[in-house]
Structure 1
């Protein structure tokens, strides 16, 4: 063992990656252990309240589908039934994308809407449903049901398996597992449960109450072929639309379920465009350097949209800003023109025009990104700013297929900014925890979400803790552009508000929900 360690140390020293091992990975290890031990507060009442709203909406949408298809027996969780309803019963024209994965199934049990007849099943994936949604309301209903069902089965139900009562904090908490060595770029991942993959808030119109629906007539079977049913003149359907119009919109955020212990607040610190700033440092692109150094308050993606479109900075719309943001990250991560067009929701020709404008405006950045791809063919590895190495030796393997070469090039391109960002975040965490320990401040680091850190901070130490966090994160390394962070505060993760110093107890955001 001693000989093995000695050999590994010599090799690490030779390739200049010893710093990663000794100064980052070994020093971050006890911090991750403490994060696993502390966990994060969880309010199951908030979670269950959101689940109930979502389930009520699912139930209502399924009822609405029955109104649209009177007399039909079906299950909207069955892709076979959905295919039968859409393309055979409703006779919606089958698009080419639905034919790619068609199957033939025999339903010997006689259930569902196909009886015992052997039937042709076309794909009913989301892209197909979007494509045919103008023909009939049913595809849109299915899309919404799937989205809401996914929220429950992939997030809500999973979290419930990992909540435990904490005597120390006198509340329910979730304890996740941090995986330090799984992601080759140096990022961490989480499991059991994955708290880095909590769903975004979902917004929908509240389902009508049972009282509202009592005025509905019972659904009567439609005797003719269902594709001839005129739902637009059906009184039941018209009544539903009228009842729906009176229902307000609601937003369900699973993050609202994550809260803090009594006497604490949650404080978030999030790097702004960290990976783009890292690439700016590497590439020394003059336009990006000037932009990032102009003002910390400058909206970078709004400025890029201005430079690409010629629209005045102040007049750039949210849509134009988001377009620029998606374009930038599509280019940074090596997406092809078809993927970029799909991401931007534009045709291929418009995507090409925008791509060329970006390349011409930020030529130095593009040259650097292409040099990463060229260099990996020679070295078969990439190295981050701090010496972390990611091996791509498969690129020299004669068995490697041409399609896999593209994946390697994209992987190399991604690894430089992503790996450096991971190193920067870990170094900041080490510096922050060191200062908390020296000053005996009882702050709990509860989550690392790639470029964002979430802390549970005592009400008595908010300003001091925030100052340590801000200075440590923004000054962890000297680049040719600043590394500003955005801070926000609150009593639950889903409703954090912008943080300003001199925050006092009297200003504490009101928690709409008790912890217990």
Structure 2
């Protein structure tokens, strides 16, 4: 790969120690007039300037070795023992070099107790995971082991670049085998001995034909089958020197997990410190550079020119003020910002800006309910390249007018929307904002159809990083992204903390509103290029999440019909049950007490009844949690009553009473709100009320579902993916038997039971099938034998036997689980089939419980996340079908792997056939997707 290869704006990491030595030997020994050596300083800075000129990096760091021992010295005392002491005339030039690099605005890193290679590899891996191109300038062949599609090595003396293909050409093995290769052949530069008798050709053959060091030693006899001279001697050499080989491997393997400070990741090139450079260039007599500096020709080439104006607004006079969260310092530049009070001004602004094709929009409302929210104001800006004008339009909703504006006539919402409608509905105008589903729904309520490409910065961040909690994933964010999301969050908080039902100060409100749209603009310009450069994530954004906005908005607006009479009746029935349970508990305890009081319950169970204390709370009190009560209920009656009481009490408070109160009086329906960015796996969540947690596994819970009814002349149709996560596991693991079981149409739980309990298929009992179901789902959720033993109420020994038999039948599943564990520790995230990244920052936690929890989550996340992507694609396919004609079908709920519909009686058969077809064909796996369909007058009957 030659120097002409097109690499633009990479992150550059420079091996500073390598540069120092190369300059020391390659440049003529220049000195100042008083004899101070400066040729190394000159050489290093020249090479750095050349890199900046050629590649125009946005981020750059120069990393130096620090004197002192590292972990490799502890492993092998002779490590680098052949290195000569740093010459004095080189040593004296180190600190001046550091000073000049820092004054150039470039990060200098000196991390003790680790080598510069390890720091470079850690940074490179971090940025590569963010889909950044990383260019490493070094002469150290060890670094070849981290080369990837995003990490490239360059030798600036020869201008030769090494990508994965070039690494394999040069060393005869791919980057993934470089450490194994060096372990076998050794590295003279670092005094790594290697395995005696193993040369380069031999190492290449055995590694390429057999595998890495671990695989090689697991299959050492395979060497005797190779068509290679001296294979017996090679076999003996490897056999005798196994311990040495693995020691050399440890020495040669570069660390990619050096613990660094947050500041060490902040590699954005800063403005040069002209004053410091003048002093330094004068002191070391770099007269040409001094002249360039003073004439304005010296810069960071010179300074990175951004292709997108991601922080364009920071160049505006009022931005520094707007970014300040203190209201007392906030002011508006009247040339750029307007509070609009009359129609004439609004029309004039629209006429001036109508040709612009990007709209930043934020709607200020008094609450987040799309049916009751009043629009109090709109803040927006139309722009082509960067924002240079923004307006705030207060709406006349009984506003308390501040004194300085008491002569203003505020516009009505109808008037404002009438004038903005051509822009809001123009498909050629890109719409950018946050919480765009709410904006879409609110405008729809006022007969405005928000059209055109839509960008939601919260969705953008969520798709890139799998969360909206930026603090949890700081380690995965570059400086620019972190600062932008931090600024957005602060602006969002400032803005929302000020939302009140009556605006008391229009001026202050407008300031916070403008602050927020500027933050939205900046964040979009930072995040969208990251999304755009990743084809899979871009597809998820454009083809799944954005189309889902209007679909979810429609589902929310349409709602679910509720039988209030049934809910009221059931609520009273629950009251009777609760009173009965209460009286039973009183009789058994010999006294009355508050069943909802943990303190009184502890008194009854442990002091009066003398029940055994199985577990204590962190404060030292005996526990009364569900797990403890379940164990106690096997022998004692009161805990069993308490469990039943709690279950029914929750049904009453959380569902019957709450659902009744949330029925919309106009529509007689419940209107939930779906959130696309709440879960870690991409699943939708539901709130106000949460329809995804309504129980369906017991009689009492299923009675709640009877209240979800179809209108007259219609039915409820439930379409539920069958065992979708197990099917995804079959696809991901490529396990032959698991795939074959599904393709053969076998009942997977019965088949598993037959294997685990060593019995024929026709003799499997319902209990055994139920246990096998627990095992099937438990293991793909990363459950341990201990966890399984508790689920099945068997010993750990028995549970471990079941686990072993399961993986004996499905070895591909075990291999996949191990692969996932390796990857999550390496990258910090796992991916769905669509490429959605699911970050698990706790995988690096020092808390063992959190680390193990993250590991379990990593095993299941690709399946749950893929299932979420699949049902979203199904919703989009079905919605497209429904829009083709006036089809008498309404999608009314999404609950995990289930879609629920209202279907008119005369269309049931057609609807069932088409819904099933679209859901089963929306995504192709190695095993077929299967959808179970149910029909009924209510949700309980249909499911």
TM-score (normalised: structure 2): 0.43
Alignment correspondent of 1:51: 571
SS at match of 2:665: strand
Match of 1:181 among 677, 680, 684: 677
CA RMSD of aligned residues (A): 2.3
SS in 1 for 2:706: helix
Q: 1:315 aligns with which of 763, 768, 786?
A: 763
Preserved CA contact (<8 Å) 1:275 1:418: yes
CA contact (8 A) 2:934 2:941 kept: no
Report if aligned partners of 1:285, 1:365 keep a CA contact under 8 Å in 2.
yes
Is 1:406 aligned to 2:852, yes or no?
Answer: yes
Task: State the 1:400 CA deviation.
Answer: 4.6
The 1:129–1:283 alpha-carbon spacing in structure 2 relative to 1, beyond 3 Å, is closer
Per-residue displacement from partner, 1:176-227 (whole Å, max 9, x unpaired)?
01001111211100000100000236448xxxxxxxxxxxxxxxxxxxxxxx
Task: Report how far residue 134 of structure 1 moved.
Answer: 5.8
Residue equivalent to 1:367: 815
- Preserved CA contact (<8 Å) 1:359 1:366: yes
Residues 391-430 of structure 1 show CA distances to partners (whole Å, capped at 9, x for unaligned) of: 345656xx65444332332232222111111111111111
2:843 and 2:852 in contact (8 A); partners too: no
Q: Which has the higher contact order (CA 8 A, sep 6+)?
A: 1
Match of 2:728 among 252, 265, 278: 278
CA–CA distance in 1 between the matches of 2:910 and 2:873? 20
What number of residue pairs does the alignment pair up? 423
d(CA) in 1 for partners of 2:842, 2:586:
54
Change (3 A) 1:480 1:253: same
Tell me the CA shift for residue 360 of structure 1.
Answer: 1.1
2:899 to 453, 457, 461: 453
- C-alpha separation in 1, matches of 2:798 and 2:937: 44
Partner residue, 2:50: none
Cα 1:134–1:388 change in 2 (3 A) is: closer
Aligned pairs for 1:56-67 within 5 A? 56-67=576-587
Q: Which has the larger radius of gyration?
A: 2
Which secondary structure state, in structure 2, belongs to the residue aligned with residue 465 of structure 1? helix
Deviates more, 1:252-261 or 1:351-360: 252-261
Tell me what 1:288 maps to: 738
Q: Is the 8 A contact 1:201 1:253 kept in 2?
A: no
For residues 841 and 587 of structure 2, the distance between their equivalents in structure 1, rounded to whole angstroms, comes to: 59
Residue 259 (1) aligns with residue 705 (2) = no
Aligned to 1:484: 930
Q: Do the aligned partners of residues 67 and 195 (structure 1) sit closer, same or farther apart at CA in structure 2, a change above 3 Å counting?
A: same
SS in 2 for 1:390: strand
Tell me if 1:306 matches 2:754: yes
Query: Which residue number in structure 2 is paired with residue 77 of structure 1?
Result: 596
Deviates more, 1:328-337 or 1:284-293: 328-337
For 1:304, what is the secondary structure of its paired residue?
Answer: helix
Q: Name the CA distance, whole Å, in 1 between partners of 2:597 and 2:870.
A: 47
CA distance in 2 between counterparts of 1:437 and 1:152 reads 39
User: Relative to structure 1, is the Cα distance of residues 348 and 59 closer, same or farther in structure 2, using a 3 angstrom cutoff?
Assistant: same
Residues 435 and 100 (structure 1), Cα distance of their counterparts in 2 relative to 1, 3 Å cut: closer
Structure 1 residue corresponding to 2:692, chosen from 192, 196, 200: 196
C-alpha distance in 2, partners of 1:395/1:64?
47
Q: Which residue of 2 aligns with 1:14?
A: 533
Q: CA deviation at 1:14?
A: 2.5
Whether the 8 Å contact between 2:695 and 2:702 is mirrored in structure 1 is: no
Q: 1:393 to 1:93 in 2, by over 3 A?
A: closer
Gap change, CA 1:151 and 1:334, over 3 Å in 2 = same
Partner residue in 2 for 1:376: 824
Tell me the residue number matched to 1:496.
942
Which consecutive unaligned segments of at least 5 residues does structure 2 have? Answer: 1-309, 311-384, 387-521
State which of 601, 605, 618 in structure 2 corresponds to 1:86: 605
Cα pair 1:333 1:410 within 8 Å, conserved: yes
Question: Hey, what does 1:438 align to over in structure 2?
Answer: 884
What's the TM-score, normalizing by structure 1?
Answer: 0.77
